[in-house]
């Protein structure tokens, strides 16, 4: 039976089957081909989406705005500090009204223990698809683009050794949504997933449990280590990225003694040498250069971060085309 996409909310990939994700990726690849060959893709003519941002954005905002324009529609950027949300308007009222004005609502809300609940509340009352542009727990747009990139680089995802590694950064206290989405998705595609982090930077127990379940159900593997070198050893892909200690410490303070004690957790040329000779370096960006990673790595031959970032455009277009379209 052909799955139905029209009107579907896109809040977490856990709610989408592998078959449905595979279709999204096929559409993404087709849209990428047509974009690179200057072929028009007027699949959402005269359609409107509202892009609500509680936080700053570069790739997410621009991939959505440009993507909807490529599809023939129009995206309206909404800085929530300039909306009545800042005066206490409810998610219910916002969702009902905006969904009566257009064809899709996309939202980024990463406030700890608020973001995902806010999106769920909007989805409860919206008459159009709600698309998650990152919340406190999930970043499905990024995970989908990551998977697309891996499929472009490797002939098969089966037995690809991928290490998601905490890295030192001090630009801001980052959400856990990127690594959490990755540990849930990658085992579903038969990858051998390692999650590495120093003590204190745990992900939620329910997410760890689900990652193990996804691995068992789909033929992947999942393990945790607190040894950085072990995570790099023989890896085919490394994703060294910072995330905050939200699970154990809800303070919004960026720099503290725990963070400073792990300055050595950095992606260096030395660490890359421990991995497979053909290892690929990935990062959702922006990377905290000099802290998370050495310039020589992110700008070097192992890096595929720009390919990964480019794919954010095409996967975003696929999500919009399939959920906001007429089929």
- pLDDT tens for each residue of 5-19: 999 999 999 999 999
218-244 pLDDT, tens per residue? 999 999 999 999 999 999 999 999 999
Give the helix/strand (H/E) hosting 179. Answer: helix 177-185
Span 251-267, average pLDDT: 96
Contact predicate 325/43, CB 8 Å: yes
What was the pLDDT predicted at 235?
98
Q: What is the pLDDT of residues 113-138, one digit of tens each?
A: 999 999 999 999 999 999 999 999 99
Q: Can you name the residues that pair with 100 across neighbouring β-strands?
A: none
If you average pLDDT over residues 197-209, what whole number do you get? 98
**Which letter does DSSP use for residue 180 in this model?**
H
Percent of the chain with pLDDT over 90: 98
pLDDT > 70 in the chain, percent: 99
pLDDT of 1 strictly over 70: no
Q: Residue 88 half-sphere exposure, CB side, CA atoms within 13 Å?
A: 0
Tell me the longest C-alpha to C-alpha distance in the chain.
55
- With CA atoms as reference, report the closest residue to 139 among 177, 188, 166, 179: 177
Radius of gyration, alpha carbons of the chain:
19
Q: Average per-residue pLDDT in the chain?
A: 97
Cα–Cα dist 9/183, whole Å: 21
Strand 130-135 and strand 161-166: the pairing is: unpaired
Is the per-residue pLDDT at 299 higher than 70? Answer: yes
Arithmetic mean of pLDDT, 39-56? 97
CB 133 within 8 Å of CB 107: yes
Dist. CA 180–CA 142, nearest whole Å: 11
| pLDDT score at 258 | 96
User: Mind listing the pLDDT tens digit for each residue in 96-108?
Assistant: 999 999 999 999 9
- The verdict on whether omega for the bond into residue 286 sits within 30 degrees of 0, i.e. cis, is yes
Paired tokens of 88: 């206490």
- The whole-number average pLDDT for the span 146-161 is 98
Instruction: Say if residues 181 and 255 touch (Cβ distance below 8 Å).
Output: no
pTM to 2 decimal places: 0.97
Nearest Cα to Cα of residue 201 among 240, 247, 241 = 247
- Would you state the pLDDT for residue 92? 98
Tokens of 304: 């595929």
Confidence of residue 327 (pLDDT cuts 50, 70, 90): low
Structural domains present in the chain: 13-139+311-324 (3.40.50.1370), 142-308 (3.40.50.1370)
What's the gap between Cα 158 and its chain centre? 21
Q: What number is the average pLDDT over the span 284-294?
A: 97
Q: Which two tokens stand for residue 118?
A: 């806010």
Q: How far is CA 126 from CA 64, 98, 140, 203, 325, in A?
A: 19, 8, 19, 30, 16
> In 10 A of CB 39, how many CB atoms?
10
Confidence of residue 2 (pLDDT cuts 50, 70, 90): confident
Chain segment 206-219, per-residue pLDDT in tens = 999 999 999 999 99
- The pLDDT value recorded for residue 189 is 98
């Amino acid at each position: 039976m052909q799955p139905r996409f029209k009107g579907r909310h896109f809040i977490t990939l856990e709610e989408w089957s592998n078959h449905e994700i595979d279709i999204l990726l096929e559409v993404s690849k087709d849209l990428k081909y047509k974009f690179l060959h200057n072929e028009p893709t007027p699949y959402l003519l005269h359609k409107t989406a509202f892009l609500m941002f509680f936080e700053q954005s570069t790739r997410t905002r621009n991939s959505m705005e440009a993507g909807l324009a490529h599809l023939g529609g129009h995206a309206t950027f909404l800085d929530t500090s300039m909306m009545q949300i800042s005066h206490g308007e409810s998610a219910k009222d916002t969702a009902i009204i905006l969904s009566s004005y257009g064809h899709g609502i996309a939202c980024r809300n990463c406030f700890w223990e608020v973001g995902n609940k806010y999106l769920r509340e909007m989805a409860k009352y919206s008459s159009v698809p709600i698309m998650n542009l990152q919340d406190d727990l999930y970043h499905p747009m990024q995970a989908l683009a990551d998977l697309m990139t891996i499929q472009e680089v490797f002939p098969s995802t089966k037995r690809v050794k991928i290490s998601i590694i905490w890295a030192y950064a001090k630009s801001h206290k980052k959400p856990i949504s990127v690594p959490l989405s990755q540990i849930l998705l990658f085992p579903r595609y038969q990858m051998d997933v390692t999650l590495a982090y120093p003590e204190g930077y745990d992900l939620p127990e329910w997410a760890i449990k689900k990652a193990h379940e996804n691995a068992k159900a789909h033929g992947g593997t999942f393990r945790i280590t607190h040894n950085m070198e072990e995570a790099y050893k023989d890896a085919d892909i490394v994703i060294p990225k910072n995330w905050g200690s939200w699970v154990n410490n809800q303070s919004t303070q960026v720099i503290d003694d725990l963070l400073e004690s792990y300055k050595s957790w950095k992606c260096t040329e030395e660490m890359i040498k421990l991995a497979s000779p053909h290892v690929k370096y990935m990062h959702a960006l922006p990377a905290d250069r000099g802290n998370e990673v050495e310039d020589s790595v992110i700008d070097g031959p192992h890096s595929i971060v720009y390919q990964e970032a480019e794919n954010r455009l095409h996967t975003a277009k696929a999500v919009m085309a399939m959920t906001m379209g007429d089929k």
